[in-house]
Structure 1
């Protein structure tokens, strides 16, 4: 039995990377436009961008016919003595996410290179000693989030972080507890870092708990890697692009996800911070129409 992915979108597709930034789409406009584009599901986005009062946020979503699929938050558990600061941020997002009735918390590793300036902040690779400690802290985080908030952590590999390449994603999966930590498969970041989303779906079907659908422009990405350009500048260069103009191809991925026979939320994203205010809505509308044309989506 196959199950079509349940499609949604996120503040990221409206150029939103931060809780508060004058270059970003105001949250009211984001909610209005994501509904106008035809989506009925959203992610929380950066904690503090949408209202953090559960009653107010629920009212804003209900008025537009929207539901929330997941919260999103960064972590820095690869660093020693990072538990308290990570827990403070993650638990706040988890509390709001649970109050909205969502079941997932997308957790993203912190950057080794500044996402805006490209400045190197720390070593790009974890050592063999750091990997097990990082995995143990992630298992602890996932367990505590499940026990306190009833949410499942979906870990999101990301460009310019320590879990980026196909090999590093596999190492992370091998090091962490499959009963606690799921994988948010971001097809754009996997492709950006030279990985293979279809192979990850085939090799680790039991770990795929959530998906971000995204494409990259291979020519831009090749130039970015050749010149050692950071992710923020890569986005400004157009590394993330509108389907179906980039890679990976979406129909095979949607078909592979459908064959998993589990409930999968697939969130459409296109990183384009910063962007003109009138740019996101037409792209979001066209992307949803394109994805629906290739097979059943809900």
Structure 2
């Protein structure tokens, strides 16, 4: 009898232990699931649309967007150009040893951006490039095409343009960024880009407009969109230049890239351009300016590249920046802008840590637009 009671007690103890372990296992399982979900699907996921486990370092926010109305998150993508890590115009603006392209792409994703402009640093082998982009869920937002119509180099321009069309087809992209670089001075050392910029003759303007209309038609035939980038140190820099280019080109095939930094550098109010051409702006570079450095560049005649080294550019969200982006973004949202919003700050990574500024810009945009 005593033996039977002892056996019953022992079985009861074993049963209780098993029950406890079962509950503990269930609890642990639930916690693991919650942990995975909170890691894989936060509002700040760099690729949350695809339920990726890649996450941004930018925390989610429960606050409503500052903009009202704001952008449609299903029709607007956020990217950042690689020029904060390494400069395309002067590749000596870099760290020593140079920043590897893997770091640029990884920090782009960590910052919560899904797009990057093509860079000379990125793999030229398309299969390698696709693999590196896919691992980080990052896309190529645009190439850069320098046209030379005003120098009479139409065939060379067409050849390069068609090459970039083919490239963007491989990248599944839709935008082709162009700028006329005939007689441009922005890459020249010790040359003031504002004073020494080219001024085109009527004949050169005619060649440029005819050429851009041809490129726009080619882009449209390939289901892509040409956007023109007014740029410091080139023949299309200020508001008068932009007006002449917009009035002369086909509005259906030649669109405008809004680069806030280059406009401000040239003495043009980016908000004025946004309001005037809101329905024609189809690509955006959000670039900020440090007023003190701009004033010094104008005073001393500093070159474009030396101005970059001095820190003339920064990102949206930097309190040292002079541009108020909120009304610009609001005008774009009111116009139902769709496409890329690309943060761009050409900076020296020795002075401005790239990831820090990428995160600064992403947090600012999240507060403004709500995603």
**Do they superpose with TM above 0.5?**
yes
CA RMSD of aligned residues (A): 2.4
* Deviation, structure 1 residue 114: 4.7
Cα distance in structure 2, aligned partners of 1:285 and 1:43: 17
**Structure 1 residue aligned with 2:346:** 271
Distance (Å, rounded) in 2 between the aligned partners of 1:185 and 1:22: 25
**Aligned mates of 1:226, 1:134 — CA distance in 2:** 32
Deviation readout 1:57-111 (Å, 9 max, x if unpaired) = 222111111122222222222211x112212322222211121111101112226
Report the equivalent of 2:78. 7
Native 8 Å contact 1:7 1:265 kept in 2: yes
Question: 5 Å matches for 1:183-194?
Answer: 183-194=256-267
Deviations 1:27-84 (A, max 9, x none): 2221111112221222223xx432233332222111111122222222222211x112
Map of 1:199-278 to 2, 5 A cutoff?
199-243=272-316, 244=318, 245-272=320-347, 274-276=348-350
Alignment of 1:145-184 (within 5 A): 145-147=219-221, 149-184=222-257
Rounded to whole Å, the distance in 1 between the matches of 2:80 and 2:226 is 19
What is the aligned partner in structure 2 of residue 105 from structure 1? 176
Question: Given that residues 3 and 260 in structure 1 are in contact (C-alpha distance below 8 angstroms), is that contact kept between their aligned partners in structure 2?
Answer: no
Aligned twin of 1:67: 139
DSSP 3-state at the match of 1:16: coil
Tell me the secondary structure at the aligned position of residue 350 of structure 2.
coil
Shift in alpha-carbon separation, 1:194–1:286, aligned structure 2, 3 A? same
What is the TM-score when the length of structure 2 is the normalising length?
0.72
- Deviation at residue 156 of structure 1 after TM alignment: 0.6
Tell me the matched-pair count.
Answer: 292
TM-score, normalized by length of structure 1? 0.89
Tell me, yes or no, if structure 1 residue 56 matches structure 2 residue 131: no
Name the structure with the higher helix share. 2
Higher gyration radius (CA): 2
3-state DSSP of counterpart to 1:92: helix
Query: How many Å separate the matches in 1 of 2:325 and 2:168?
Result: 28
Q: Which runs of 4+ in 1 moved over 3 A?
A: 18-24, 118-123
- Sort the Cα spacing of 1:284 and 1:166 in 2 relative to 1 into closer, same or farther, 3 A: same
Unaligned runs of 5+ in 2: 1-68
- Structure ranking higher on relative contact order (CA contacts 8 Å, 6+ apart): 1
